[in-house]
Amino acid sequence: MGSIRRLETRDAAAFRALRLDGLARHPEAFGASWESEAEQPLEWFGATLKTHAVFGAPDGDGLVGAAGLFMPDSPKLRNKGTLWGAYVRPDARGKEIGTALISAVIDQATSRVEDLNLSVGATNTRAIRRYEAAGFKPYGLEPHALKVGEQYYAEVLMILNLNQSG
C-alpha cells in the first residue's frame, strides 16, 4: 500500500469502486445510497474529486480507504468544513489507515476553516474513538439522522476547532 494522497480525476474508477463498496456494506453509515451513486457515470465521480479534497489510500490499482473534505460556498458558512465519506475496506482495517486519512483531511482543513465537523453512526464506537483521538469532540446526537428502509440510525455530531485562539 502506498501513502495517503489527494485523489485526482484519474482516480475516479478506483474511487467509485471503493465508494460503492462502502455504501453497499454499510448503508447506515452514509447519507448517500448505493442505488443513487451506482447510477452515476464515472465522470460524476471524477467531478467530485475535482471539486472536493478527497484523500485516498492506494493499493495497487485500487484504493483501500478514502475520506473527503467539503467546504461550503456560502460566505456565512466558509468558517467550517465537513469531513465526509470516510471508509476503509474491512481487509485493510487495523492498520492505521483511517487515522492517516483523518489526519490528511485535518491538514487540508487547517489553513482553510476554523472548525471541522463530522457525523458518525452512534453505534460505531471504533470510529468515534478514532475521531476523539484526533481531537474531535461530540456536541450532539441526531436520533433519526438516517433512515434505511424502515430502520432509523442515530448519529453523533462531532467538531474539531482548528482556530488556535478559539
Look up the pTM and report it.
0.93
CB 56 within 8 A of CB 95: no
Instruction: Tell me the pairing of strands 115-121 and 5-6.
Output: unpaired
How many other C-beta atoms are found inside a 10 Å radius of the C-beta of residue 40? 15
Per-residue model confidence (pLDDT) at position 23? 97
- The secondary structure element, H or E, covering residue 67 is strand 62-70
| Predicted pLDDT of residue 163 | 83
Q: What pLDDT was estimated at residue 137?
A: 98
Q: Are strands 151-161 and 115-121 parallel, antiparallel or unpaired?
A: antiparallel
**CB < 8 Å & 24+ apart, contacts of 32-40:** 40/16
Residues in the chain predicted with pLDDT less than 70, given as ranges, are: 1-2, 164-166
Architecture in CATH for domain 5-161? 3-Layer(aba) Sandwich (3.40)
What is residue 54's predicted lDDT score, i.e. its pLDDT? 98
pLDDT value of position 164: 60
How do the domains of the chain map onto residue ranges? 5-161
Tens of pLDDT, residue by residue over 135-144, are 999 999 999 9
For residue 10, the model assigns a pLDDT of 96
Contact 68, 49 (CB under 8 A): no
